[in-house]
Structure 1
Amino acid sequence: MAALHRPAVTRQLWLWGLVAVGSRLPVAMAPISLVFLGRAGTGGFSFGAIATAVYVIGEIVGASVLGARLGRSRRQLPAGLVVGALAFAATPFADGVVLLALVFLAGAAPAAAPGGTRAMLTSLVREEKVARALSAEAVLSQIVWAAAPALAAALSFLIHPGAPMLVAAAFLLVAAVTLGWLPEPERVTAPISRSLLAAWPIFLTSSASNALFAATELMLPALLEERGIAYGWSGPMLTWFALACAAGALIYGLRTWPGSVRLHSLVLLVGMALCIGITVFLPGLPGITVGLLFAGLFQAGAMVSRSLSLRERLPTHAHAAAYSVMYAFAGIGYGGSASISAVALELSGASTAILIGVVITLVIIGVSASAERSVVKAT
């Protein structure tokens, strides 16, 4: 029976991989694609930046509202992907307020997909293989995030500024169709609100991680220019960072590490913050590159251990919703840090902006660790 069962599971994992890529590549392509689309329509970058902000807000709202309802309706996830695909496909043909409304919908409708697909993956493997499965998922995600900006830029410059949005729509439709070949999740009838509230210290670490990533990603070009280095190096360096994250996820999943997964998450986040902080002081391009390398290695382990922490804390029926809420917290951390970093950049420069992002991250980690101790004592 095991021999017969294994090919079926392998096929399901390949199908899951197609769903994961189809649902996540559009998310990774969206920010830079919207910038290019806004540039083509208005001649400047400001509208694209506004559209990107609206898209992120849509993701936060969608992940919070729709993600918390995952499992209540079996058709919710594919329906969200289809609606998101239609919104993506319509954006090249709209402008002004209509375009912003479509962008919001494109962010919100499929926002439950990351949580839903992660919960689906862990249901396809044996419990002892979950850590490796989540590590493999992190590797796949980082490869997607490394490839997406280059794909979006190529489509925009070689074909048309609206082409990335149409390709993103096609990927979402493929993901929606492929979901029909995967086992349907069990319908959730138990209340999950109290369970989700109990996990808020873990959600905070998701905000901390993305707050730091926002400060790094958005301030890196300015930091390079501040050092007298061509800011065009920021693209290859962020790709290097994403590949380091993929390597870190692979390393974390290859063995069992001492201590609890919750401790791993906190320690690795602190390590990531310190590595990013050091880049402000390390000399030249090689120094910044080394700092990003180690920061990427730490971030990946923190990402995987954070998901494992949620699995330990919450009952099985709450996992999908919890992953989506965590995704929403990540968006809040990114958006808040991006705003603060932009102000800090204008007032005191890129180095200070990055250090502020590091301090914000360390403060959030401290609050999360303190809250975690309180929760443990209460239980």
Structure 2
Amino acid sequence: MVASLFARLPIAMIGLAALLYVQREYGSYGPAGLVSAGTLVGVAAGSVVQGRLMDAFGATRPMLVVVAGYAGFVTVGCLTIEAHGPVPLLVLLALGIGVFEPQVGSASRAMWPRLLPAGPNRDAALAYEAISMEVFFILGPGIAGLLAVAPWAGTGLVAGAALMIAGSLVFVLNPTIREHRPRRGAGGRSVLGALASPGLRTVALAAFGFGAVVGFVEVAVPASATAAGHGAAGGLLLSLSSVSSVAFGLVYGVRPWPRAMRLRLPALLAGFAALVALLSVPAGLVGLAVALLVAGCLITPQSTAHSAAVELVAPAGTATEAFGWIVTAVTLGLAGGQSISGQLTAAHGPRPAFLLAAGVGLVLAGLLWLLRGTIGAGHPATRADSPVEPQIPAGV
């Protein structure tokens, strides 16, 4: 768990560090934005491939190859940036960095069903996973921003990559991970893998909707701060939603609601969309800050629900890949939301972006309600991936 913390801390740091590095070397946000987009696309593709390999061979062997590839792409990427190489080459290297970014988060979430029986302890573990990610998204951009003023512009990228590589290696070489022998189930024989499950497609839709709404907000909030004449406050405002997300997530992890997962997914997305609509009401930044604190309360509950729902719907032997699909869905939602929000905000200001974010969330929540029957009550992934007798020390 400690190793996974170090491996995942740079997740929210790498993209911003790379963007700032390219911007300082090339003097423009144009190439920097393309590099950032290439990294996102790579992560969306690589998370699924890595998950499928880890389900087939365990985490250790595939992750060692992934870490080596990641180190190679980061090294070549830095050398290309220093040489002011062509932008298309930079985008291809960014794509490779994203594909080979170690998906320790998926492996870590898939680990808990093997270690803990179904019940409050496992629910708490999944809540911890979601809350820890929120903490990383609070700390990561701040660390990247601090390192961006270092004498060498690439300090943030290299430091984040080194931390991720070291944490990933310690994680996958730990006996708890190394000794796990996966058992492939029927789901692994499908070309679609874990996505062959209708229930997982429903959970991925929920994750996509969540990512899309957040993507709208991540562009519209800084735009609101800039319009108010306080552009530097944009990042601080976004952090407020993460703070309330962590605080409320601690409470929600103990008593999640609604209890039935088939109802929880649409209810949480609809509630989040409704709260995001409130962001269009305040005229000043103080009011926007309060609204962000309120809206942030439903961020971690959704992440926790996505992780818990995967256990119900993932085909046997595909738990890690299933979590990879959730990462992909959220990433694609973020990319889509940010793209549309950027265009809408530039043309009409941030308020319509908040309202469209709410509308998208409510529409997708309605689709989740219609598809709620695909979320069953069984635990196929848990039965396949857990030992018959969980190896838990007495008293834990």
Fold shared, TM-score > 0.5 on shorter chain = yes
Per the alignment, do residues 48 and 298 of structure 1 end up closer, same or farther by CA in structure 2, a change over 3 Å counting? Answer: same
Question: Partner of 1:10 in structure 2?
Answer: none
Amino acid corresponding to residue 160 of structure 2 in structure 1 = A
State whether residues 152 and 164 of structure 1, in contact with CA within 8 Å, keep that contact through their aligned partners in structure 2. Answer: yes
Question: Partner of 1:90 in structure 2?
Answer: 76
State whether residues 262 and 373 of structure 2, in contact with CA within 8 Å, keep that contact through their aligned partners in structure 1. Answer: no
Question: Partner of 2:63 in structure 1?
Answer: 77
Task: Note the C-alpha offset of 1:314.
Answer: 2.8
Task: Note the C-alpha offset of 1:374.
Answer: 6.3
Question: Partner of 1:4 in structure 2?
Answer: none
Q: Distance in 2 between matches of 1:91 and 1:374?
A: 43
State whether residues 57 and 181 of structure 2, in contact with CA within 8 Å, keep that contact through their aligned partners in structure 1. Answer: no
Question: Partner of 1:292 in structure 2?
Answer: 292
State whether residues 67 and 100 of structure 2, in contact with CA within 8 Å, keep that contact through their aligned partners in structure 1. Answer: yes
Q: Distance in 1 between matches of 2:11 and 2:98?
A: 8
Task: Note the C-alpha offset of 1:293.
Answer: 1.2
Question: Partner of 1:236 in structure 2?
Answer: 236
Task: Note the C-alpha offset of 1:256.
Answer: 5.1
Task: Note the C-alpha offset of 1:154.
Answer: 1.2
1:13-162 equivalence runs, <5 A: 16-19=1-4, 21-74=5-58, 75-94=61-80, 95-96=85-86, 97-110=88-101, 112-128=103-119, 129-162=121-154
Amino acid corresponding to residue 286 of structure 1 in structure 2 = V
Task: Note the C-alpha offset of 1:284.
Answer: 1.7
Amino acid corresponding to residue 111 of structure 2 in structure 1 = M
Task: Note the C-alpha offset of 1:258.
Answer: 4.9
The superposition leaves residues 291-313 of structure 1 with CA deviations (integer Å, 9 ceiling, x where unpaired) of 21122111111110121112122
1:134-213 equivalence runs, <5 A: 134-178=126-170, 179-183=172-176, 184=178, 185-192=180-187, 193=190, 195-197=194-196, 198=198, 199-213=200-214
Q: Distance in 1 between matches of 2:68 and 2:135?
A: 24
Instruction: Name the one with the larger helix percent.
Output: 1
Q: Distance in 1 between matches of 2:162 and 2:374?
A: 47
Q: Distance in 2 between matches of 1:145 and 1:252?
A: 19
Question: Partner of 1:342 in structure 2?
Answer: 342
Identity over the aligned pairs, expressed in percent?
A: 21
Per the alignment, do residues 189 and 56 of structure 1 end up closer, same or farther by CA in structure 2, a change over 3 Å counting? Answer: same
Q: Distance in 2 between matches of 1:320 and 1:27?
A: 18
Q: Distance in 2 between matches of 1:32 and 1:173?
A: 18
Q: Distance in 2 between matches of 1:285 and 1:180?
A: 47
Q: TM-score, normalised by structure 2?
A: 0.85
Q: TM-score, normalised by structure 1?
A: 0.88
Per the alignment, do residues 256 and 30 of structure 1 end up closer, same or farther by CA in structure 2, a change over 3 Å counting? Answer: closer
Q: What SS does the aligned partner of 2:9 have?
A: helix
1:219-258 equivalence runs, <5 A: 219-226=220-227, 228-255=228-255, 257-258=257-258
Per the alignment, do residues 24 and 65 of structure 1 end up closer, same or farther by CA in structure 2, a change over 3 Å counting? Answer: same
Task: Note the C-alpha offset of 1:353.
Answer: 1.9
Q: Distance in 2 between matches of 1:140 and 1:159?
A: 31
Amino acid corresponding to residue 225 of structure 1 in structure 2 = T
> Does 2:317 correspond to 1:317?
yes
State whether residues 241 and 293 of structure 2, in contact with CA within 8 Å, keep that contact through their aligned partners in structure 1. Answer: yes
Amino acid corresponding to residue 163 of structure 1 in structure 2 = T
Per the alignment, do residues 182 and 48 of structure 1 end up closer, same or farther by CA in structure 2, a change over 3 Å counting? Answer: farther
State whether residues 156 and 164 of structure 1, in contact with CA within 8 Å, keep that contact through their aligned partners in structure 2. Answer: yes
Amino acid corresponding to residue 244 of structure 2 in structure 1 = A
Of residues 55-64 and 338-347 in structure 1, the stretch that sits farther from structure 2 once superposed is 338-347
Task: Note the C-alpha offset of 1:280.
Answer: 0.8
State whether residues 109 and 307 of structure 2, in contact with CA within 8 Å, keep that contact through their aligned partners in structure 1. Answer: no
Task: Note the C-alpha offset of 1:208.
Answer: 0.4
State whether residues 114 and 327 of structure 1, in contact with CA within 8 Å, keep that contact through their aligned partners in structure 2. Answer: no
Q: Distance in 2 between matches of 1:325 and 1:286?
A: 37
Q: What SS does the aligned partner of 2:233 have?
A: helix
Let me know the Cα RMSD of the aligned residues.
2.1
- Unpaired runs of at least 5, structure 2: 377-396
Q: What SS does the aligned partner of 1:127 have?
A: coil
State whether residues 215 and 338 of structure 1, in contact with CA within 8 Å, keep that contact through their aligned partners in structure 2. Answer: yes
State whether residues 202 and 374 of structure 2, in contact with CA within 8 Å, keep that contact through their aligned partners in structure 1. Answer: no
Task: Note the C-alpha offset of 1:173.
Answer: 2.0
Of residues 275-284 and 306-315 in structure 1, the stretch that sits farther from structure 2 once superposed is 306-315
